[in-house]
């Protein structure tokens, strides 16, 4: 028997808020975290805007001396995880530590650390490279540090699947609990990619928008979209075996019921034609959750605001849902958060469960001109109240990674 798994805690650090409540409030209000690129000199790049974290005080979560031994993506992961566990009112001690695990991924890990330490190496030689360089840089250190800070000794892992990372991490953690290997998992994604080489690389492969206007730069499904806005942050959820959650009187946001993960086997950056890999991921998640396509009310789309992604994701939805594709609602919150790469799926999972809990679907902002290729019922330029019973959250990544998780109202 598969064990039932519920979401009992959420924590987020995002361009639109340094906690989950503020992030959700601002997204529902259509407020954007996208602004002029300030972490880097915008004159050096074709991209002029970014979705940056603002006014984040790392010392609220990590002592200053210890914070210096971590990359920013780990700062965000630890902060969001501590908030999620507090929100879940989950006490971790010697009685349960072995049954509580961590599964947090990052698409590119400590890129900022790598750049700074390489500069030190070039100027001053290897002896001046920090002894913490490797532990600061490697993507699994977010999961490692969260485990240390919380004392969680169960399954400890890290998924690296580019922009599908956060969703894969939550899906993989869900399966750990479902098969009985843990009673709770702290899961999601973290990213801090607004660095010289990361932005240069994304500009070089023309993935980033060249639109300098923060108010229209990220416009998923709009005819005039031209690329994504790079963002940073972390989204972490606490997943818990249902009986464990009920025994301790935990609040329940929603139930996670399905997970689909597929590969395109097509191209290193472009999605497979027609979004066929994404379509298979959605189908698997629906079937895994014991749902029917017509049960889905809302899809939090990957919706990057790139020409191919939005077109092919729309095609994939129509392939999976048939006529019901026009009856469900779709939105991309990346229009406000930007694209958080490996953290996107974590933050968007939080939006998905809150859509169920609060009976409201967050909007796609900045939508002005309809694209004939993107003809679904997009929730545009304002949130929509609705009875949301079942949701899919999609993430697609370079390398042909596709991931979908399915949530439904807990009953």
75: number of CA atoms within 13 Å, CB side?
25
> Which residue, 96, 91, 108, is CA-closest to 142?
108
Report CA-CA distances (Å) from 309 to 115, 164, 221, 225, 305.
Answer: 30, 13, 9, 11, 7
* 80 touches 10 (CB < 8 A): no
203 is catalytic: no
Contact present, 278 and 286 (Cβ < 8 Å)? no
DSSP 94-117: TTTGGGEEEEEE-SS-SHHHHHHH
Q: Note whether 260 and 282 are within 8 A (CB).
A: yes
Phi, psi of 229 (to 5 degrees): -105, 125
Helix (H, G, I), strand (E, B) or coil at 271: coil
What phi-psi label fits residue 30: left (phi over 0), alpha (psi between -120 and 50 degrees) or beta?
Answer: left
Q: Are 244 and 183 in contact (CB under 8 A)?
A: yes
* Structural contact between residues 290 and 259, judged by C-beta atoms closer than 8 angstroms: no
Annotated active-site residue in 158, 163, 203, 374? 163
Helix (H, G, I), strand (E, B) or coil at 402: strand
The residues carrying an active-site annotation are 163
């Amino acid at each position: 028997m598969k064990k039932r798994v519920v979401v009992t805690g959420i924590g987020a650090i995002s361009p639109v808020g340094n906690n989950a409540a503020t992030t959700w409030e601002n997204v529902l209000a259509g407020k954007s975290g996208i602004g002029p690129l300030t972490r880097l000199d915008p004159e050096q790049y074709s991209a002029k805007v970014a979705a940056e974290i603002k006014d984040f005080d790392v010392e609220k979560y990590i002592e200053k001396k210890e914070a210096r031994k971590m990359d920013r993506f780990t700062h965000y992961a630890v902060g969001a995880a501590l908030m999620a566990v507090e929100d879940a009112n989950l006490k971790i001690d010697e009685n349960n530590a072995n049954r509580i695990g961590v599964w947090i991924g990052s698409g590119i890990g400590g890129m900022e650390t790598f750049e700074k330490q390489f500069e030190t190496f070039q100027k001053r030689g290897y002896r001046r490279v920090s002894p913490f360089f490797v532990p600061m840089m490697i993507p699994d250190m977010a999961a490692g540090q969260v485990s240390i800070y919380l004392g969680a000794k169960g399954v400890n892992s890290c998924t690296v699947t580019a922009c599908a990372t956060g969703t894969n991490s939550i899906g993989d953690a869900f399966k750990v609990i479902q098969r009985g290997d843990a009673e709770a998992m702290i899961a999601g994604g973290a990213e801090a990619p607004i660095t010289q080489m990361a932005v240069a690389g994304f500009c070089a492969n023309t993935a980033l928008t060249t639109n300098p206007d923060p108010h229209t730069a990220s416009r998923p499904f709009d005819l005039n979209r031209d690329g994504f806005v790079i963002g940073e942050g972390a989204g972490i959820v606490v997943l818990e075996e249902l009986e464990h959650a009920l025994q301790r009187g935990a609040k329940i946001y929603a139930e996670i019921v399905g997970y689909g993960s597929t590969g395109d086997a097509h191209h290193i950056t472009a999605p497979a034609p027609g979004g066929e890999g994404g379509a298979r991921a959605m189908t698997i998640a629906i079937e895994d959750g014991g749902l029917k396509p017509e049960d889905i009310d809302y899809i939090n789309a990957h919706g990057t605001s790139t020409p191919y992604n939005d077109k092919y994701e729309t095609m994939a939805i129509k392939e999976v849902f048939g006529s019901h594709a026009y009856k469900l609602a779709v939105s991309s919150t990346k229009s406000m958060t930007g694209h958080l790469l490996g953290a996107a799926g974590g933050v968007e999972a939080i939006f998905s469960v809150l859509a169920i809990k609060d009976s409201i679907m967050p909007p796609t902002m900045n939508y002005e001109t309809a694209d004939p290729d993107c003809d679904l019922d997009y929730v545009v330029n304002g949130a929509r109240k609705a009875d949301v019973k079942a949701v899919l959250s999609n993430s697609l990544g370079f390398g042909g990674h596709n991931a979908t998780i399915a949530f439904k109202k807990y009953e």
